[in-house]
Homo-oligomer: A and B are copies of this chain.
């Protein structure tokens, strides 16, 4: 038994009286059965956010008709909005380097049908996972990156991404800093897993930094990538307890478990249209 087909409406607009009434009225008038609904108002900025999941079969119109009909209402409230269709899976390009934990975890979830996602291809600066990826029937692109060829390499990555008509790029411990151009071009569409509890230990070798400072918990952070290194909007975080007896190699090992769990949770939020970016923060409707 598979999940029923749903449409997910997400929107933000200046906060004022009657938004929920107008939207729920609109949906009800078309027979729409809402199975999830979340609201949030950012008081400081007077912005309202909303997410509604509607059973497709309950509607007396197509998704195209729904979108067309919603347009004028959205305009009158000044909404930024979208309606996604669970029958149309997002397309996610996975970027990896040589570390196993995130790519194995993602492929396992993909194989189990656990994430609502298609993976058109995996791109790596190493050949390490070609066999594993191809065994899953997923194309694998080896795009080496050196200090010298970075611009060309990243041009190639963008070509592959665009050709694949991808919606999302996930850096599954890709270990390379993307170019500002790429960050801007795919703003809100690149997700990274950083191996520290940001904003602690920005940049390189966070586990070394954590060990030096003597913290008692280490963490990982799933965030949207912006041109500002490790400063993008945070989607999800978690931590794990360590102690004085743990070597840096232990931190790395514990950290992997947190990294892959946090990445998978953050990804799911994004894939299910649960995340709305507002300034440098996220609203996550769980």
**A residues in contact (CB < 8 Å) with B:** 17-18, 20-21, 24-25, 27-28, 31-37, 39-41, 43, 99-101, 104-105, 107-109, 111-112, 114, 131-132, 135, 197-201, 213-217, 219, 233-239, 243-245, 247, 253, 256-257, 261, 264, 280-284, 286
Task: Decide: A17 and B40 in contact? CB cutoff 8 A.
Answer: no
Q: Which residues of chain B are near A238, meaning CB under 8 Å? A: 217
For the residues of A in contact with B, the DSSP-based class is mixed
Chain B's closest residue to A281 (CB) is B214
Q: How many angstroms from the CA of A203 to the CA of B135 in the assembled complex?
A: 36
Q: Measured between C-beta atoms, what is the minimum distance from A13 to chain B in Å? A: 15
Do B214 and A197 touch across chains, with their CB atoms under 8 A apart? no
Q: Answer whether A28 and B24 are a contact pair too, CB < 8 Å, given A213-B234, A234-B213, A245-B40.
A: no
Q: Is the CB of A244 within 8 A of B282?
A: yes
How many angstroms from the CA of A32 to the CA of B18 in the assembled complex? Answer: 9
The contact sample of 15 A-B pairs, CB cut-off 8 A, is A20-B20, A20-B37, A21-B24, A24-B24, A35-B41, A36-B245, A40-B245, A100-B111, A101-B108, A104-B107, A198-B213, A213-B234, A217-B238, A239-B239, A257-B264
Question: Could you say which residues of chain B place their CB within 8 Å of the CB of A214?
Answer: 233-234, 280-282
* A17-B32, A20-B28, A216-B236 known, 6 other contacts, Cβ within 8 Å: A21-B21, A40-B245, A100-B114, A101-B108, A104-B111, A197-B197
How near does chain B come to A57, taking the closest CB pair, in angstroms?
Answer: 13
Copy tally for this chain in the complex stands at 4
The answer to whether A284 touches B31 (Cβ under 8 A) is no
Name the one of B41, B114, B257 contacting A261, with C-beta atoms under 8 angstroms: B257
Are B200 and A216 within 8 A (Cβ)? no
* B31-A17 in contact (CB<8A): yes
Does B35 contact A28, Cβ atoms closer than 8 Å? no
A133 to chain B, nearest CB (A): 11
- Whether A217 pairs with B244 at a CB distance below 8 angstroms is no
Please name all residues of chain B whose beta carbon is closer than 8 Å to the beta carbon of A256 when the two chains form the complex.
114
Contact A199 B217 (CB under 8 A): no
| Residues of B close to A31: CB separation below 8 A | 17
When distances are taken between beta carbons in the complex, the residues of chain B under 8 Å from A104 are 104-105, 107-108, 111
Q: A34-B20, A104-B111, A105-B104 are in contact. Are A237 and B216 (CB under 8 A)?
A: yes
Residues of B close to A217: CB separation below 8 A: 197, 219, 237-239
Residues of B within 8 A of A17 (CB): 28, 31-33
Alpha-carbon gap, A114 to B253, bound state (A) = 8
